[in-house]
Amino acid sequence: MSGGWNTIESDAGVFTYLLENLGVKNVQFEELISLDSQSLGQLSPLGVIFLFKYNNDGRKSDGPLDGQFDFEATYNLDDAGSGGDGKGKVWFAAQTIQNACGTQALLSVLMNKDNKDGVELGPHLTDFKDFTAAFPPDIRGEALSNSDLIRDTHNSFARSSPFVSDETRMATQDDDLFHFIAYTSINGTLYELDGLQEAPISHGPCAPTDFADKVIPVLQRRIERYPTNEIRFNLLAMCQDLRVKAREFGDEDMVYREEEKRRAWQWENALRRHNFVGFVGELMKGVTAAKIADGSYDAWIEDSKTKTKKKLEESKKKGYNPDEMEM
């Protein structure tokens, strides 16, 4: 592989345009601010992407803490249509590299949908799905990690940094690690798709129309395993392009709102890609020159030192750890 994977934000605009840049059509993401099935159901979701603080207590000795491993679901996709019980139709990839979990979670939902779900994968992902269909999860994960197109598209949404590290720092016990997983309905079953697990996790029967009602209790049980003061969760719904639905209903106001949202997302994504170090440097030069000219430079520096020291002390009292990493 010619390069690594960078951390990307759990953001509706980032994920929507990431898939669009991969050639996917008629898909967008919406952030959910409450865990209620009604809000989720209104979006007719294809699946959800859940971001949470990762710990290593996600399974019992004989299986996951919630649900059951479905090893049969990972059988060769090429053989799935040859008869039998319909097993083996889940596209599932093991995560083999750090920071890839965001895009991997998106693809875990997307690769299990097709035209009948109103989704167009586009030529690149269709070819990738066909290419990896016969692979076991670990090899499929390696293929994903080594895809130049997917990795470069993923990295194009990472925040710009003027600094290049000579080596990737490994996570330590003091770091807060965050991880993306996916939930979706496949072949009448609610699946949790987590590349760090051995197999897809089944949470029981679930028709696509029942997905919102079935997935919310699963998410609530997962959140309840954390301390009550842990609030760092994020939930994004993958749904069909809301502009298409608005045009079908002739709702011009909704079309306008969705177009405005898209423009805002494009602007925010452009800001993420831009390196502001040069601009900030020139700005600070101007401010410094002005402070020296009016004789307030020394007092300005001392005041800044005092404020910085105070903020650091307050952060330590709150137990804030600045090192937050993505799995």
Instruction: Convert the pLDDT of each residue in 74-109 to its tens digit.
Output: 876 555 444 444 445 899 999 998 889 999 999 999
Distance CA(83)–CA(283), nearest Å, equals: 68
Who has greater pLDDT, 21 or 297? 21
Whole-number pLDDT of residue 82: 47
Question: Regarding beta strands 324-326 and 176-186, do their DSSP bridges make them parallel or antiparallel, or are they unpaired?
Answer: parallel
From-to residues of CATH 3.40.532.10 in the chain? 12-240
List the beta bridge partners of residue 64: 59
Matching residue, tokens 């998106």: 106
Spatial contact of 230 and 26, defined as CB atoms under 8 Å apart: no
CA distances for 156 relative to 31, 76, 246, angstroms: 21, 32, 30
**Residues classed as catalytic:** 101, 179
Q: CB 296: neighbour CB atoms within 10 A? A: 12
DSSP letters, 35-89, are: --HHHHHTT--SEEEEEEE--S-SEETTEESSSEE-GGGGS-GGGTTSSSSS-S-
Average predicted confidence (pLDDT) for the chain: 85
CA distances for 30 relative to 58, 184, 190, angstroms: 27, 15, 20
Whole-number pLDDT of residue 58: 56
Distance CA(6)–CA(231), nearest Å, equals: 24
List alpha helices for the chain, DSSP H: 12-21, 37-41, 101-110, 122-132, 137-145, 148-155, 211-224, 242-248, 252-273, 277-293, 297-318
Q: What percentage of the chain carries pLDDT values higher than 90?
A: 55
Q: CB 133: neighbour CB atoms within 10 A? A: 15
Distance CA(272)–CA(157), nearest Å, equals: 7
Homologous superfamily, domain 12-240? Peptidase C12, ubiquitin carboxyl-terminal hydrolase (3.40.532.10)
Matching residue, tokens 């987590």: 194
Q: Which amino acid is at 192?
A: E
pLDDT higher than threshold 50 for residue 308: yes
What are the backbone dihedrals phi and psi of residue 195, each rounded to the nearest 5 degrees, phi first? Answer: -65, -15
List the beta bridge partners of residue 236: 31, 49
Distance CA(75)–CA(82), nearest Å, equals: 12
pLDDT higher than threshold 90 for residue 131: yes
Whole-number pLDDT of residue 302: 87
pLDDT higher than threshold 70 for residue 168: no
pLDDT higher than threshold 80 for residue 248: yes
pLDDT bucket at 299, cuts 50 / 70 / 90: confident
Whole-number pLDDT of residue 166: 43
Average pLDDT over residues 276-286: 68
Whole-number pLDDT of residue 2: 45
pLDDT bucket at 326, cuts 50 / 70 / 90: low
pLDDT higher than threshold 60 for residue 323: no
Q: Which amino acid is at 90?
A: V
Whole-number pLDDT of residue 81: 47
